[in-house]
């Protein structure tokens, strides 16, 4: 029997994540019958490659989704909010990378290694949300630990690459680095401060409670994906002058005791995880090793000696691949295989 194929659209195809979504569809041999690339009117007529064919970018409109089965969206929250309902009305299932729909109770928020069953809830609004990049790479290794010994509290600090902000931020780090090395003044257009040779404890907007929206995304999304509202989560999210690959320092307090060795052997068997933990030989997860592949690297695994049941670890992943595009295409694979 021949494999069922799907009409697919990528909204935001010219962006950093949209581009990677196209590559992931190709690499993973997603069963595509037809493909449409959508972006703003600025990109109209631009050509992008798909499996050796040149495909013209079309302007995203309310009627772009007629006859489309699955749309991968990564064109910003406002665009998703506006256009995803039109796609759903035309019978297309949207997998949305923005934060617009993530906390909607009728929209599942899915990390395939953690809660693939939640894809079934796509029927609510015809939308499935792809979580925040930092949340995805945190829950992939924490889920097996939560199942085994119960996580009471998570304290996380992130070191996030500029590619998470999109193409303009990649260009800004490039330009500022060159300018500073050439003793020239540089402008800050994307971030409120210079990102080159700096760290900014500020990702997304500040909220009334003093946290940033990015930090609170990590709190709420983690609970939704792990399906446990009792977990305490506190986050500090920091933008660092790295092009690709987010790193995180994660501290967990568990209900039952677990040793560092037990964590290591549990994570060695965990889907989507690679344990990279040989400090004596200077081997631990690095953003530059995480970049360009799909596994979440975990290392520096050690017991937190300040509490009875605590574990520390350092985690790195490719924020554009597993943190966005790969996760979205993995969701599309579940949808295609089990539901459409």
Query: Of the residues 133, 146, 149, 199, which is catalytic?
Result: 133
Q: Residue 283: beta bridge partners?
A: 278
Q: What is the dihedral of CA 220, 224, 225, 231, to 10 degrees?
A: 70
Token digits for 297? 């690297």
Contact indicator for 324, 130 with CB cutoff of 8 Å: yes
Tokens 């790193």, located at residue: 247
What are 211's two structure tokens? 């946290």
**Closest to 76 in 3D by CA, of 101, 58, 55:** 101
Q: Which of 252, 256, 261 is nearest to 234 (CA)?
A: 252
Least distance to ligand A2P, CB of residue 204, Å:
14
Residue nearer to ligand A2P on the CB measure, 148 or 167: 167
Question: In terms of C-beta density within 10 A (0-12 exposed, 13-18 middle, 19 or more buried), how is residue 251 classed?
Answer: middle
CB of 167 to ligand A2P, least distance (A): 4
Whether 276 contacts 295, CB under 8 Å: no
317 φ/ψ angles, rounded to the nearest 5 degrees: -150, 160
The residue among 12 and 112 lying less far from ligand A2P, judged by its C-beta, is 12
Least CB distance to ligand A2P at residue 132 (A) = 14
Chain CA centroid to CA 258, Å: 28
Please confirm, yes or no, whether 246 is among the known catalytic residues. yes
Nearer residue to ligand A2P within complex by CB, 312 or 327:
327
What is the smallest separation between the CB atom of 165 and ligand A2P, expressed in angstroms? 7
186 is catalytic: no
Q: Which of 115, 130, 185 is nearest to 10 (CA)?
A: 130
For residues 338 and 340, what is the distance between their CA atoms, to the nearest angstrom?
Answer: 6
Distance between CA atoms of residues 134 and 137, nearest Å? 6
Q: Which residue is nearest to ligand A2P (CB)?
A: 15
Q: Which is nearer to ligand A2P, 12 or 144 (CB)?
A: 12
| Site residues for ligand A2P per CB under 6 A | 12-16, 18, 39-40, 42-43, 60, 75-76, 79, 166-168
What's the min distance (Å) between Cβ of 217 and ligand A2P? 16
Query: Six-digit token pair at 128?
Result: 């499935």
Ramachandran area for residue 292 (φ above 0: left; ψ -120 to 50: alpha; else beta): left
Nearer to ligand A2P, 39 or 298 (CB): 39
Closer residue to ligand A2P, CB minimum distance, 43 or 319: 43
Measured from the CB atom, is 79 or 326 closer to ligand A2P?
79
Q: Are 226 and 218 in contact (CB under 8 A)?
A: no
Catalytic residue among 92, 146, 149, 246: 246
Minimum Å distance from CB 133 to ligand A2P? 12
Q: How far is the CB of 213 from ligand A2P (least distance, A)?
A: 16
Catalytic residue list: 133, 246
């Amino acid at each position: 029997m021949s494999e069922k194929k799907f009409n697919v659209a990528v909204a935001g195809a010219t962006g950093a994540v949209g581009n990677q979504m196209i590559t992931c569809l190709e690499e993973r041999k997603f069963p595509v019958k037809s493909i449409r690339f959508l972006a703003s009117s600025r990109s109209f007529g631009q050509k992008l490659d798909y499996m050796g064919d040149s495909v013209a970018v079309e302007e995203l409109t309310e009627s772009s989704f007629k006859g489309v089965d699955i749309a991968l969206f990564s064109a910003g929250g406002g665009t998703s909010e506006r256009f995803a309902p039109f796609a759903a009305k035309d019978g297309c299932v949207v997998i949305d990378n923005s934060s617009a729909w993530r906390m909607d109770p009728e929209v599942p928020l899915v990390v395939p290694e953690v809660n693939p069953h939640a894809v079934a809830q796509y029927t609510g609004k015809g939308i499935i949300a792809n979580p925040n990049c930092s949340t995805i790479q945190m829950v992939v290794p924490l889920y097996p630990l939560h199942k085994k010994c119960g996580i009471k509290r998570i304290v996380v600090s992130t070191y996030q690459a500029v590619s998470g902000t999109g193409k303009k931020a990649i260009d800004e780090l490039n330009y500022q680095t060159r300018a500073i090395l050439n003793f020239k003044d540089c402008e800050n257009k994307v971030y409120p401060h210079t990102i080159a040779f700096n760290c900014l404890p500020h990702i997304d907007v500040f909220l009334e409670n003093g946290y940033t929206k990015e930090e609170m995304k990590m709190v709420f999304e983690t609970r939704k994906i792990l399906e446990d509202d009792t977990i305490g989560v506190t986050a500090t999210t920091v933008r660092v002058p790295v092009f690709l690959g987010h790193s995180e320092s994660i501290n967990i307090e568990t209900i039952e005791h677990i040793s560092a060795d037990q964590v290591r052997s549990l994570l060695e068997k965990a889907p989507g995880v690679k344990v990279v933990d040989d400090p004596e030989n200077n081997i631990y997860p690095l953003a530059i090793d995480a970049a360009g592949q799909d596994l979440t690297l975990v290392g520096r695994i050690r017991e937190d000696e300040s509490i009875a049941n605590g574990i520390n670890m350092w985690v790195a992943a490719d924020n554009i691949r597993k943190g966005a595009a790969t996760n979205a295409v993995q969701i599309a694979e579940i949808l295609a295989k089990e539901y459409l």
